[in-house]
Amino acid sequence: MDIIVCIKRVAQTAEADVKIDSSGKDIVKDRLTFDMNESDTYALEEAILLKEKFGGTLTAVSLGTVQAEDTLRIALAKGADSAIRIKAEDFEGLDGYKTAQLLKAAIKDLKFDVVFTGCIATDDYYSQVGVTLAELLGVPHATLVTKIDIQDTKAQVHRELEGGLIEHLDMTLPALFTIQTGINEPRYASLIAIRRAAKKEIKVIGASEIEPTGIQANASLEELFTPPAGKRAEILSGSMDEISAKVAGIIKEKGLI
Amino acid sequence: MNFDLTNDQKMLQDQVKKFADSVLAPVAPDIDKSGEFPWDNIKKMAELGLLGIIIPEEYGGAGFDYISLAIAIEEISRACASTGVIVAVNNSLAGYPIMQFGNEEQKKKYLPLLCKGEKLGAFGLTEPNAGSDVAAMETTARLDGDHYILNGTKRFITNAGEAGIYMVFAYTNKELKHKGMSTFIVERDTPGFSLGKHEDLMGIRATANCELIFEDVKIPRENLLGKEGEGFKMCMNTLDVSRIDIGAQAVGIAQSALDESIKYSKERKTFGQPICNFQMVQSMLAEMATEIQAARMLVYYAGHCKNKGMTRFSKEAAMAKYYASSISVDVARKAVQIHGGYGYTKDYPIERIYRDAKILELYEGTNEIQKIIIARELTR
């Protein structure tokens, strides 16, 4: 089984004070830490599990700057056989569509039965790349995947829906799956694997290797801003029980549970 | 001169940090309370290769260098000080002397067991009446045919209650003083070898710290490490290495105190604003961060000295251990101060960190001994 997993190095913004930079189109990143996108760590683990079960090859691909090589090396240490970095510095205006086109260009000559991506990137929240890449590769896809069972060229796939529903799909390989967090328990790389991965070459491709014809974005980022603070706040009054009941009512009314 | 970590060091740091945060940190308060030895953690660390960081691959280790060792011990200790010293002892006080001074049979027999965690290592040097004064040791080993007969008591031995392989120091010829000291590899199930008092420690409470009691214990002759009379030299050389670990443990403990203090000082409000806005708190945070970074550099430098093959780097190792442990205790004290009354409760991790830090100034040679080593090197 030949497998490709697409991973992205993203700024860790969940607990950081995020500020917009002077261009107005990006955030200030010099004090942020970066790591593999969360759902990509699950996609990578699912790819490794599949490779361990069926054998074959596992290639990790990332569109990013040279620092993305640190992230790709972690993928190598955990179990990928080879890694490709597409030089983000060679390309501008990287929306989901253009990113998918570049990923396709990087993997089009590779054999694959399954392509994995994370279901969403926590820096731009597009959720586009996996789906678009599947279309460009001409293979079926399933998003928000929480379980995969493969027999020969058939895959039984579970997708997570709202309201606790699970959708069960039967699909034929080759296919692309965008992986939901929690599908597995991502491993830590062993020290020996780390030492071996540190010596592996990462293939780097850029504008000189990728034919640019037709590769373009279909959306351009105009502005990043933080919305003005809202004026609607409600102070609840009454006894503890009354307030609790009101809070529960509001949460239910807003559909938050 | 290059201050950047190598690719493998960066990956090691990344993976050990994540492992420590998600696996070790959540159980650290529980094992501090119960004193239970964290075997679950140890097994997981064995799978990752953390029990044989510096041991060559051919003996089951990961084959990393001594700066990497420091990086790993710092990250583990940041999450759990007990686990930090358990791993440090296995690597540097048991694995290292066998790797450095053992013969091929000893290395093949014992190193894979230590690396896999099938048997943990311990280091039996300190005695009830011989701490800083190592030469006052009373344990003896008398050659009798193919065996040595070992008699004596060791005290304050980390891992002792759960270990399987003990590096034990004893006089084979007391008249020669430190030149009559020898090192033995003693297995747990050897008749006559028993465990004494389990220490109820103030900090690092999950480290199975016990007495070792040897009553006419027959040690096969092939378990002598190196030659008779080389024990003191091996001991000093081994302590140079393990002081890298203890320095790293100190940096990890101090870093956790700083991390908690930064978090708390941004959340806690007094006089209408977060306390991190107050200059006296800022002063403490700035001092803590600077001291930690300085300590880390001393620890890395001691690791660097070992990496480049210096046979003696006692001064550098002593400086790293002395400074890192001193500032660690001070950083923990300031962290409690920043937390105020809450820092004195078990609702916050800082009281545990404060208790854990104190041992650093005492074990692996008290800080007074470190200063003697440094001063002797300066004036000789």
- Which domain CATH number covers B12? 1.10.540.10
The fraction of chain B above a pLDDT of 90, given in percent, is: 98
Q: Which of B11, B50, B63 is nearest residue A73 as measured by Cβ atoms?
A: B11
Q: Do B10 and A70 touch (CB under 8 A)?
A: yes
Min distance B333 CA to chain A CA atoms (Å): 27
The Cα of A194 is separated from the nearest Cα of chain B by a number of Å equal to 6
Residue B54 inside a domain? The answer is yes
Chain B positions in Cβ-Cβ contact with residue A188 (cut-off 8 Å): 15, 18-19, 48
Residues B326 and B248 occupy one common structural domain: yes
The CATH number of the domain holding residue B145 is 2.40.110.10
Structural domain tally of chain B? 3
- With contact defined as beta carbons under 8 Å apart, do A184 and A49 qualify? yes
User: Which among B7, B18, B62 is the nearest to A192, CB-wise?
Assistant: B62
Answer yes or no: is B23 within a domain.
yes
Interface residue of A188, A190, A196, A201 to substitute, partner B, most B CBs within 10 Å: A188
**CA-based max dimension of chain B:** 79
Q: Judge whether B57 is closer than 8 Å to chain A, CB to CB.
A: yes
List the single residue in B6, B18, B48 with the smallest CB-CB distance to A191. Answer: B48
| CA B94-B97-B99 angle, 5° bins | 100
From the DSSP assignment, how many helices (H) and strands (E) are in chain B?
12, 10
Q: What is the DSSP letter of A95?
A: -
Domain end, chosen from B118, B139, B172, is at B118
> Would the CB atoms of B50 and A195 count as touching at under 8 Å?
no
CA dihedral for B363, B121, B49, B206, sign (positive or negative): negative
Quick one: closest CA in B to A17, which residue? Answer: B266
Q: What pLDDT, on a 0 to 100 scale, did the predictor assign at position A228?
A: 84
Amino acid A253: pLDDT: 85
The pLDDT of residue B78 is: 98
Cα–Cα separations (whole angstroms), residue B79 to A14, A38, B162? 21, 22, 21
Residue A166 has pLDDT above 80, yes or no: yes
With 80 as the cut, is the pLDDT of residue A231 above it?
no
Per-residue pLDDT at B196? 96
Task: Quote the domain boundaries for residue B105.
Answer: 7-118
Tell me the chain A residues in contact with residue B6 when contact means C-beta distances shorter than 8 Å. Answer: 198
In DSSP terms, which residues pair with B295 in a beta bridge?
none
| Residue A71 confidence (pLDDT) | 97
Catalytic choice (B211, B351, B361, B364): B364
**Extents of the domains making up chain A:** 2-205
* Residue B76 predicted with pLDDT over 90: yes
Distance CA B260, CA B353 (A): 10
Give the pLDDT score at B367: 96
pLDDT in tens, B168-219: 999 999 999 999 999 999 999 999 999 999 999 999 999 999 999 999 999 9
How high is the pLDDT of residue A144? 96
Check residue B370 and give its pLDDT: 97
Cβ-Cβ contacts under 8 Å, A197 against chain B = 8, 11
3-class SS of residue A4: strand
Same domain, B254 and B371: yes
**Residue A66: its chain B contacts at CB < 8 A?**
none
Of B196, B231, B266, the one marking the end of a domain is: B231
Does the beta-carbon distance from B11 to A197 stay under 8 Å? yes
Whether residue A257 is predicted with pLDDT greater than 80 in this model: the reply is: no
Q: What is the pLDDT of residues B5-63, one digit of tens each?
A: 999 999 999 999 999 999 999 999 999 999 999 999 999 999 999 999 999 999 999 99
Express each pLDDT in B311-323 by its tens digit.
889 999 999 999 9
| Minimum distance, in Å, between the CA of residue A123 and any CA atom of chain B | 20
Question: For residue range A42-79, what is the model confidence (pLDDT) as tens digits?
Answer: 999 999 999 999 999 999 999 999 999 999 999 999 99
Domain A2-205 superfamily per CATH:
HUPs (3.40.50.620)
B87 touching chain A per CB within 8 A: no
Q: Residue B1: inside a domain, yes or no?
A: no
Assess whether B11 and B98 both reside in one domain.
Answer: yes
pLDDT bucket at A180, cuts 50 / 70 / 90: very high
Q: Are residues B28 and B143 in the same domain?
A: no
Tell me what pLDDT residue B97 has. 98
Nearest residue on chain B to A75, judged by CA atoms? B11
Question: In DSSP terms, which residues pair with A231 in a beta bridge?
Answer: none
Q: Do residue B6 and residue A77 have CB atoms under 8 angstroms apart?
A: no
Same domain for B127 and B114? no
Is a pLDDT exceeding 80 seen at residue A212? no
Within-domain flag for B90: yes
pLDDT value of position B30: 97
Share of chain A above pLDDT 70, in %: 100
Is residue B12 less than 8 Å (CB to CB) from chain A? yes
pLDDT reported for residue A235:
81
User: Residue A227: pLDDT band by 50, 70, 90 thresholds?
Assistant: confident
Distance from CA of A198 to the nearest CA of B (A): 5
Look at A189 and B19 and tell me if their CB atoms are within 8 Å: no
pLDDT of A230 reads 78
- Which segment of A215-229, B229-243, B359-373 scores lowest on mean pLDDT? A215-229
Residue B16: the pLDDT is 98
Mean predicted lDDT score pLDDT of chain B: 97
Quickly state the pLDDT bin for A206 (edges 50, 70, 90).
very high
For residue B18, which residues of chain A lie inside 8 Å, CB to CB? 188
Contact B60/A at CB under 8 A = no
Instruction: Give residues with Cβ within 8 angstroms of B342, minimum separation 6.
Output: B264, B348
Please indicate, yes or no, if residue B2 is contained in any of the structural domains. Answer: no
Question: What's the distance, CA B362 to chain centroid?
Answer: 12
The least confident of A225-234, A237-246, B16-25, B252-261 is: A225-234
**pLDDT recorded at residue B15:** 98
Q: Is B222 a catalytic residue?
A: no
Q: Which chain A residues touch B if contact means CB-CB below 8 Å?
A: 35, 70, 73-74, 77, 188-192, 194-195, 197-198
Task: Report chain B residues whose CB lies below 8 A from the CB of A35.
Answer: 14
Our CA angle for B281, B283, B289, nearest 5°, is 100
CB-nearest to B12 from A35, A70, A194 is A194
Question: Which of A12-26, A100-114, B336-350 is least confident?
Answer: A12-26
Secondary structure letter of residue A172 according to DSSP? E
Query: Would you state the pLDDT for residue A164?
Result: 86
Q: Does B193 share its domain with B303?
A: no
Please give the model's pTM, rounded to 2 decimal places.
0.92
Nearest CA in chain A to B7: A198
Check whether A14 has a pLDDT greater than 90: no
What's the gap in Å between the CA of A74 and the closest CA on chain B?
7
> Cα–Cα distance between A46 and B327 in angstroms, integer?
44
> Is there a cis peptide before residue A174, judged by omega within 30 degrees of 0?
yes
Mean pLDDT of A128-146: 96
CB contact under 8 A, B63 and A198: no
pLDDT at A233 over 80: no
The DSSP call for residue B175 is G
How many C-beta atoms lie closer than 10 Å to residue B39's C-beta? 11
Q: At what angle do helices B7-19 and B39-48 cross, to 10 degrees?
A: 160
Q: Is B113 helix (H, G, I), strand (E, B) or coil?
A: helix
Q: Kindly write down the DSSP assignment for every residue of B32-71, as one continuous string.
A: HHH----HHHHHHHHHHTGGGTTS-GGGTS----HHHHHH
Q: Quick one: average pLDDT of B225-230?
A: 97
CATH number of the domain that residue B288 is part of: 1.20.140.10
**Does A13 or A104 have the greater pLDDT score?**
A104
Picking from B67, B89, B118, the residue at the C-terminal end of a domain is: B118
Q: How many angstroms separate the CA atoms of B36 and B207, rounded?
A: 8
